[in-house]
A and B are shown apart, each in its own frame.
Chain A
Amino acid sequence: MINTWVWIAWLVTALIALSSTRNPLYLVLILMCLTIVNNAVSRSTHLGNDINSGARLPISPLRLLVMLVVLSALFNAAISHYGETVLFYLPEWLPLIGGAITLEALIYGALNGLVLFGIFWTFMILNQALPSRRLLRLIPRAFYPVAVVTSIAITFVPATVRNFHQIREAQSIRGHRLRGLRDWLPLIMPLMVGGLERALALAEAMTARGFASGGKSGGQFWERTLLLLGTLLVLAGWTLRLTERWFLLGNTMLIAGSVLIFGTLWILGRRSPRTTYARERWSLQDVIIILGMSLVLVFILIPLPFLDRLTLPYEVYPKISLPGFDPLFGVIIIALLLPTLFLHHQSTHSHS
């Protein structure tokens, strides 16, 4: 089982890799890696190991890819009239979209669509790989009332859907037919009232078992003041960051504010004890993946003399040209496939 935090590290690395390039060759390579990871995750899901309760993809990836690339390309071509390779002209009297439609604008839009699709898809893979209980564990301890509410909601969603179908069947037996919007009322109201009744019963059960969330976690004056101070620092830092002159000071304040907020929440979280029944362990495979991802980040973020970083930001404007390619970057990107090695190992184990 790959550790939850390792999956998060993989996600962050993939997102940074996607955001740092507009080169179509690198983008396609990253998307190919994502495809292979996605297939490995899906295979593991079918074989019924620990990731089997992960969410299904809400939309077909191919459909999403086509939608985002086409929409982005068309929109950019219609709005942006830059570029030297003119395909055709739209009448000037058309507000905003009138003017030259260029190949460069079309390609640039398509590349943006590819990046956006990559971001969407990376998260879709993570959603598949991590079941809801593992995602729920990521809620910081300071937010335990929210975590309790979320747990209740996730637990009762299947029951609510089941109830809806039962109510629908019961109403159908009574001759109820869905012809218009008003006909939904006899379905929605029993569902809502039933849910509210269940909430009362649940509250009584929770009280009887000694649950009391009313510890006024928001009542700590100084901690809340620190949170306010942290937010103000972030706000001021962000504002200063917009100017050339105060950019560094703004960045410092932004980081200081974020550290203050996270630090305060961490301190507050330590006051809320959490019982973990099955603690996730770190294994050798987790360490290998983390090291691989760190290596990818170092190569992408730090300017190294033996890497041609100029191939990362591909410039379409003013005239389209062939993108460059550094094979070393290609090899580094392939490291995103590391989780598949262990997912495959896992699935063959499970199969045997």
Chain B
Amino acid sequence: MKNNFKLHQWLSPSIYIVTTVLGLLALIYPFLLPAVISSAAGEARAAEMPLLMTVMLGLSLLVLIYEVQGGAFNTKLVALLGMLVAINAALRFIEVGIPGPGGFSPIFFLIILTGYLFGGRFGFLMGTLTIFVSSIITGGIGPWLPSQMLAAGWVGMSAALLVPIVSRVQSINRHLPSRWERSSEILILAVFGFLWGLLYGLIMNLWSWPYFSGPADQFWLHGVGVYETIQRYTSYYLLTSLVWDLGRGLGTAVLLVAFGLPALRALRRFQRRFTFYSEPVEEVRTSDKAEAAQDASIQVQGRI
């Protein structure tokens, strides 16, 4: 029984790690091919690569979403997530009106904030479902969707990692006025948003790169090694995407600086109302640590 409990504890992190590794490996497929396959089979492998990449990303996404959706989701969080996804998808319509550079998209603003405040699971679902819902509405469903959803999900999931960083920075700066403390939080979020703006483009380009590139025998085989493949991808990225992605990164960072503080304040106000829950009295009495757990759950149940 005890072993089963231990396995239970390990299962979730294992699924997160394995699915993330699978997703990452699927994305870096073009970089690995030259190192391992011979030129004879290379043409066929290269041709099937985009399809295989999509399938693997899809599988990784399915398992990850199943694992993430199964956690402590009550009615309030389902409604909250649905509504936030609706707001974010609507922002995609409104983005035409917001003066933004290049590949700027306002959707990362809420994905980062919700991941940071409500935890990695919530952030992941926020990212994936925002892309999914807006794709259904705007007619953007395609083979690029799994990688878009996974990448946006990673944005939300990784935003939860900022919590200890912000706490550490704030504890160092605790002697400073509270205004500075809040600014450091927003600054960290903005830097994070900027970096993800670039990284998101870097990930998404991997899907289209094999199509825009030359034939397989020039790209992955005939002595073209991993190093040169990276070099070629770098040139592709610099030529086609850097400016576009800088627009996305800068736009997200500017949004976080401009609206981050009031949005965080509003979300924190609602966080308590959405994440409190009551436990049956019997259960509380039977458990030794129930009282403490109940207090803790009322306070910070928000971090799913």
Taken together as a complex, chains A and B put the C-alpha atoms of A181 and B94 apart, in Å, by: 14
CB-based contact B37/A75 at 8 Å: no
CB-based contact B266/A192 at 8 Å: yes
B125 contacts A by Cβ under 8 Å: yes
Known: A79-B232, A145-B73, A164-B94. A112 touches B136 (CB 8 A): no
Nearest CB of B to A49, in Å: 18
CB-based contact B22/A136 at 8 Å: no
Instruction: Please report which residues of chain B, range 217-253, place their CB below 8 angstroms from some CB of chain A when the two chains form the complex.
Output: 217-218, 231-232, 235-236, 239-240
A350 contacts B by Cβ under 8 Å: no
Question: CB < 8 Å: which of B208, B232, B259 contacts A185?
Answer: B259
CB-based contact A317/B90 at 8 Å: no
B270 contacts A by Cβ under 8 Å: yes
Complex A-B, nearest 4 residue pairs according to Cβ-Cβ distance, in ascending order:
A218-B70, A152-B82, A55-B139, A127-B139
How many A-B residue pairs have C-beta atoms within 8 angstroms? Tell me. Answer: 285
What A residues does B73 contact at CB under 8 A?
145, 213-214
CB-based contact B78/A157 at 8 Å: no
Nearest CB of B to A270, in Å: 14
Question: CB < 8 Å: which of A79, A82, A213, A218 contacts B67?
Answer: A218
What B residues does A57 contact at CB under 8 A?
139
B202 contacts A by Cβ under 8 Å: no
Instruction: Please report which residues of chain A, range 79-129, place their CB below 8 angstroms from some CB of chain B when the two chains form the complex.
Output: 79-80, 82, 95-97, 105, 108-109, 112-113, 115-116, 119-120, 123-124, 126-128
CB-based contact A154/B137 at 8 Å: yes
Chain A to chain B contacts (Cβ below 8 Å), 27 pairs? A15-B143, A19-B50, A56-B139, A76-B213, A82-B214, A119-B143, A124-B139, A124-B142, A146-B129, A151-B82, A153-B85, A153-B129, A154-B86, A160-B86, A182-B258, A192-B87, A196-B270, A203-B80, A206-B78, A218-B68, A218-B71, A221-B7, A224-B66, A227-B15, A243-B37, A244-B37, A268-B66
Question: In the complex, which residue of chain B has the Cβ closest to the Cβ of A119?
Answer: B143
Instruction: Please report which residues of chain A, range 160-210, place their CB below 8 angstroms from some CB of chain B when the two chains form the complex.
Output: 160-161, 164, 181-182, 184-185, 188-189, 191-193, 195-196, 198-200, 202-203, 206-207
CB-based contact B76/A234 at 8 Å: no
Nearest CB of B to A265, in Å: 7
The count of residues in chain B whose C-beta lies closer than 8 Å to any C-beta of chain A is 93
Known: A160-B90, A202-B82, A231-B18. A75 touches B240 (CB 8 A): yes
CB-based contact B258/A231 at 8 Å: no
B293 contacts A by Cβ under 8 Å: no
Known: A79-B232, A181-B254. A200 touches B62 (CB 8 A): no
A1 contacts B by Cβ under 8 Å: no
Instruction: Please report which residues of chain B, range 29-64, place their CB below 8 angstroms from some CB of chain A when the two chains form the complex.
Output: 32-33, 36-38, 41, 47, 50-52, 55-56, 59-60, 62-63
Question: In the complex, which residue of chain A has the Cβ closest to the Cβ of B22?
Answer: A235
Taken together as a complex, chains A and B put the C-alpha atoms of A70 and B37 apart, in Å, by: 31
CB-based contact B11/A199 at 8 Å: no
B138 contacts A by Cβ under 8 Å: yes
Taken together as a complex, chains A and B put the C-alpha atoms of A76 and B235 apart, in Å, by: 11
CB-based contact B81/A149 at 8 Å: yes
List 10 additional A-B contacts (Cβ < 8 Å) besides A199-B84, A238-B22, A244-B38: A55-B137, A80-B214, A123-B143, A143-B65, A161-B93, A189-B262, A196-B270, A214-B74, A225-B7, A231-B60
Question: In the complex, which residue of chain A has the Cβ closest to the Cβ of B217?
Answer: A317
Question: CB < 8 Å: which of B18, B41, B129 contacts A244?
Answer: B41
Binding site secondary structure of chain A: helix
CB-based contact B82/A109 at 8 Å: no
Taken together as a complex, chains A and B put the C-alpha atoms of A58 and B4 apart, in Å, by: 50
A346 contacts B by Cβ under 8 Å: no
B177 contacts A by Cβ under 8 Å: no
CB-based contact B240/A58 at 8 Å: no
Question: In the complex, which residue of chain A has the Cβ closest to the Cβ of B143?
Answer: A119
CB-based contact A76/B212 at 8 Å: yes
CB-based contact B263/A189 at 8 Å: yes
Nearest CB of B to A117, in Å: 10
CB-based contact B236/A185 at 8 Å: no
What B residues does A242 contact at CB under 8 A?
32-33, 36-37
CB-based contact B65/A225 at 8 Å: no
| A130-159 vs B, Cβ < 8 Å mask (1 yes, 0 no) | 001001100000110110111111111101
What A residues does B270 contact at CB under 8 A?
196, 200
CB-based contact A75/B236 at 8 Å: yes
What A residues does B83 contact at CB under 8 A?
152-153, 156, 195-196, 198-199, 202
Taken together as a complex, chains A and B put the C-alpha atoms of A19 and B53 apart, in Å, by: 14
What B residues does A32 contact at CB under 8 A?
none
Known: A127-B140, A217-B70, A228-B14. A235 touches B87 (CB 8 A): no
Taken together as a complex, chains A and B put the C-alpha atoms of A160 and B82 apart, in Å, by: 12
B179 contacts A by Cβ under 8 Å: no
What B residues does A95 contact at CB under 8 A?
235
Nearest CB of A to B88, in Å: 8
Question: CB < 8 Å: which of A113, A191, A199 contacts B212?
Answer: A113
CB-based contact B139/A80 at 8 Å: no
A349 contacts B by Cβ under 8 Å: no
Taken together as a complex, chains A and B put the C-alpha atoms of A135 and B75 apart, in Å, by: 24
CB-based contact B72/A214 at 8 Å: yes
What A residues does B208 contact at CB under 8 A?
116
Taken together as a complex, chains A and B put the C-alpha atoms of A109 and B132 apart, in Å, by: 30
What A residues does B125 contact at CB under 8 A?
146, 149
A211 contacts B by Cβ under 8 Å: yes
What B residues does A234 contact at CB under 8 A?
22, 56, 59
Nearest CB of A to B176, in Å: 25
Taken together as a complex, chains A and B put the C-alpha atoms of A338 and B236 apart, in Å, by: 39
B284 contacts A by Cβ under 8 Å: no
B298 contacts A by Cβ under 8 Å: no
